[in-house]
Amino acid sequence: MQLLKERILKDGIVKPGNVLKVDSFLNHQMDIDLINEIGKEFKRIYQDAPITKILTIEASGIGIACIAAQYFHVPVVFAKKAQSINLDGEMYCTKVESFTHKKVYDVILSKKFLNADDHVLIIDDFLANGCALLGLIEIVKSSGAVLEGAGIVIEKGFQSGGDKLRSQGIRVESLAIIDSMTDQSLTFRE
Ligand code: 5GP
């Protein structure tokens, strides 16, 4: 997505540890006009998929998923990061290691909001090693819902997540795939 790539080049900041900061337009301050175009693009890509629910993970995915959902006209449900979980059987639970905080979180989603009748599109801001996405996929599998695919705003193609997921046959559509980045230069996959 050209508009997104231009914005990453203009305002993205590469930090040590292979972290790209895009907090001036995507995941802290949010440029709603840009995210609106991102939402439209996810809809264009997944227009033929019978999506009934968009699934994301708190916090950064929520705003993006909500704007995209306006084009799909389906609810958004987000997995919550919990410090300790009460395994009362009402929740789907999994563990996710945070790329940016290097911490393992329990992640939960109420069973009320995802079931075998659903066709799910997962949306997230970044794909790095794939832990967040794998956790969400595990929740979808537990629910019996059909996973239609994932929509990622920025994939760091030099990290392992994208290859891992696609090799499992999962449809992963990323709007910008970064092939390499240093504080001097950043290149995208064509
Ligand atoms: P993964 O689980 O694929 O390793 O990492 C994905 C999650 O980590 C995303 O939900 C995102 O919040 C965060 N993340 C991974 N890489 C980056 C990055 O370069 N910049 C920012 N801002 N967040 C990232």
18: left (phi > 0), else alpha (psi -120 to 50), else beta? left
Digit-by-digit pLDDT tens for the chain (190 residues) are 999 999 999 999 999 999 999 999 999 999 999 999 999 999 999 999 999 999 999 999 999 999 999 999 999 999 999 866 666 679 999 999 988 888 899 999 999 999 999 999 999 999 999 999 999 999 999 999 999 999 999 999 999 999 999 999 999 999 999 999 999 999 999 8
Quickly count: other Cβ atoms within 10 Å of residue 130's Cβ.
Answer: 22
Which residues does ligand 1 sit against, CB inside 6 Å?
19-22, 27, 60, 99-100, 124-133, 161
CA-proximal residue: ligand 1, atom 22 (nearest): 21
- Interval between CA 86 and ligand 1 midpoint (Å): 27
DSSP structural state of residue 87: -
Flag whether the pTM goes above 0.85: yes
